[in-house]
Structure 1
Amino acid sequence: MTPDVLLVGCGDLGADVGVRLAARGHSVLALRRRAELVPPPLQGLSVDLTRNQPELPPLDLAYLVVALTARPRTEESYRATYVDGMVRALDALADAGQVARRAVLVSSTGVFGDLDPGVLADESTTPSPADGPARMLLRAEEVFRERVPGGTVLRLSGLYGRGSTRLVDQVRAGAVTDPNRWTNRIHRDDAAAAVVHLLTNDAAPEALYVGTDDEPALLGDVAAHLAAQLGAPAPPAADAELGHGKRFSNARLRASGWVPDFPTYREGYAARAR
């Protein structure tokens, strides 16, 4: 079956998106440095996009998803992956004469930089990247819009779930040191579902969405909830009056018909804590 979906990047999130689309009957081709790590029933194509333009097989492209991952977190690495790597993939599609009916670029709320926590930020908030990696993410968005007219950018907040144990490990170790920081998160299952929703929804998507759950939360509150479930020592208490950091709204994504399975950290961390 000729692939009708191209995944540019197939890490954990990209793979989840691909498997969901395959379950809908699509044939998915995934670009990854090591094709053997691409899960079935997806087809893998080995390519290092930081160095090479892929040699694509015949496609009948319906959906394009760009979900790249860069390491380490440096401006150079992010430029090589998110900007130059994406451009090589888009060049290969252009050479093949392929234009997707729908396309989604997975980006990050990290492009916003420092914000007033008293304001619930959304798609109308002006990005102000605070460092080189964030500037490269924003540049990738700009290039995507130039090269993929009608494409959609999905800015995700912090991904968690499905094997991610960072905060759980910090709570167990008593290593939560900034309880008054506002945090925003989205479960990986809900993030993957959001990408598929934007690709397949009957109504045409808008150009930009913020992907996050229903409730920004102080880190201390999240940690206290986890500690109670884990039987771990209580972390420092959160004080909302001292809260700092960013708070995001998912109202536009919700209005499009997307409904998260894990609307807050309480549902999202329940299975992990047990």
Structure 2
Amino acid sequence: MTERVLLIGCGDLGQRVARRFLARGDEVHALRRNPPADGPQGIRWLRGDISRPGGLPALPRGVTRLVHLPAPGARDPAAYRAVFIDGLANVLEALDTSRLERVVFVSSSAVYGEHDGHWVTEDTPPSPLGANGRLLLEAEAALAARRLPSTALRLAGLYGPGRLQLIDRLRSGAAGAPVHPEHWANRMHIDDAAAAVVHLALLPEVTPVYIGCDDTPLPLHTLYAELARLAGAPSPRVAPAPANVGSKKLSNAWLRAAGFTLRWPDSRLGYAALLAEAGQDDPAQA
């Protein structure tokens, strides 16, 4: 069956999601304030501003899969509320939901907060440290209250092609991490994140929430040290833990139990492949 998909927000992650639906032969619509001129062929672009009730164009009728993954214009509470809470409400009010079989809301592991390096699952009570996590949690609850068939995918930090700023920071000596106590970090390759979005959008049955991450949480200093070695950068300096993130080990057991398979189960392997593709191979292998 051909799906009619609507993506709200379609940046890097959204376009990777779109390509996967298009490869299946699905009809893909994507709404952005400013649609790109060079996006994937086959996307039916819509121009609009979801933060304003009157800012939406006519949305396609008969949408079967809705994916909400906008990018806030800034990292401040007003911008997050505008797209994740008000924006989602405006879309759902304007959308014909008569054939809607799934909403995937792309959220963040920031809803979990500080857990002192312990394991976190979907059963762990959320305790966000920052406004972004609190607003995403509020948006998840607002969506669930609508009683639509939906799920939230709480993503760990994404990396992938074109996302090598961390390598640049390591080379310049700007990136650092604590050693005692360790700060645990979690990552997911952006292509695995896109695949997870599509997987959950198409599953016959879902749970209300999934964590999206790879198989290998790492102490941040361990990850940075390995990336510095791969990039031929100096050893990372000792520095405070990032603010409002929290140390935790995320479990992807529910996502795996739903039949999802990662291509990149360990971010060290993923980064090594990215560096090799960029012509920055491990000097030890030269």
TM-score after normalising by structure 1: 0.90
Q: Which residue of 1 aligns with 2:101?
A: 101
Could you tell me which residue of structure 1 aligns to residue 21 of structure 2?
Answer: 21
Does the 8 Å contact 1:210/1:252 carry over to 2?
yes
Q: Secondary structure at the match of 2:20?
A: helix
1:53/1:88 contact within 8 Å kept: no
Alignment of 1:152-171 (within 5 A): 152-171=151-170
Q: Which amino acid in 2 is paired with 1:204?
A: E
1:1-274 to 2 correspondences below 5 Å? 4-37=4-37, 38-51=39-52, 52-93=54-95, 96-117=96-117, 119-179=118-178, 180-201=182-203, 203-236=204-237, 245-274=247-276
Per mean C-alpha deviation after superposition, the further-off stretch among 28-37 and 80-89 is: 28-37
Contact 1:226 1:273 in 2 (8 A): no
Q: Is the 8 A contact 2:29 2:44 kept in 1?
A: yes
Change (3 A) 1:261 1:74: same
| Contact 1:53–1:92 (Cα < 8 Å) also in 2 | no
Output the amino acid matched with 1:90.
L
**1:210 aligned counterpart, secondary structure:** strand
**Cα distance in structure 2, aligned partners of 1:58 and 1:195:** 21
Distance 1:79 1:143 in 2: 12
Q: CA shift at 1:266, angstroms?
A: 1.8
Counterpart-to-counterpart distance in 1, 2:216 and 2:135:
28
Alpha-carbon distance between aligned partners in 2 of 1:66 and 1:184, rounded to the nearest angstrom? 22
CA shift for structure 1 position 57: 4.4
> Identity across aligned pairs (percent)?
42
CA distance in 1: counterparts of 2:23 and 2:201, whole angstroms: 14
Aligned-partner Cα distance in 2 for 1:40–1:140: 31
Equivalent AA in structure 1 for residue 141 of structure 2:
E
Question: Deviations along 1:8-43, whole A, 9 cap, x unmatched?
Answer: 111111111111101101011101001235432111
The answer to whether the Cα contact below 8 Å between 2:177 and 2:238 also exists between their aligned partners in 1 is no
Count of residue pairs the alignment pairs up: 264
| Alpha-carbon displacement from aligned partner over 1:55-78 (angstroms, at most 9, x marks no partner) | 324422221111111121111111
For 1:205 and 1:266, how far apart are their aligned partners in 2?
A: 30
Deviation of 1:271 after TM superposition, in Å, equals 2.0
Distance (Å, rounded) in 2 between the aligned partners of 1:207 and 1:57: 25
> Structure 1 counterpart of 2:257, which letter?
A
The offset of 1:200, in angstroms, is 2.0
What is the deviation of 1:175?
2.0
TM-score (norm 2): 0.87
Which consecutive segments of 4 or more residues in structure 1 shift more than 4 A? none
RMSD: 1.9
Pairwise CA distance, 1:256: 0.9
SS in 2 for 1:35: coil
For structure 1, the residue ranges without an aligned partner over 5 or more in a row are 239-243
Distance change >3 Å, CA 137–CA 235, structure 1 → 2: same
Q: Distance in 1 between matches of 2:187 and 2:111?
A: 15
Structure 2 CA distance for aligned equivalents of residues 251 and 166 of structure 1:
29
| Cα separation, 1, equivalents of 2:60 and 2:250 | 41
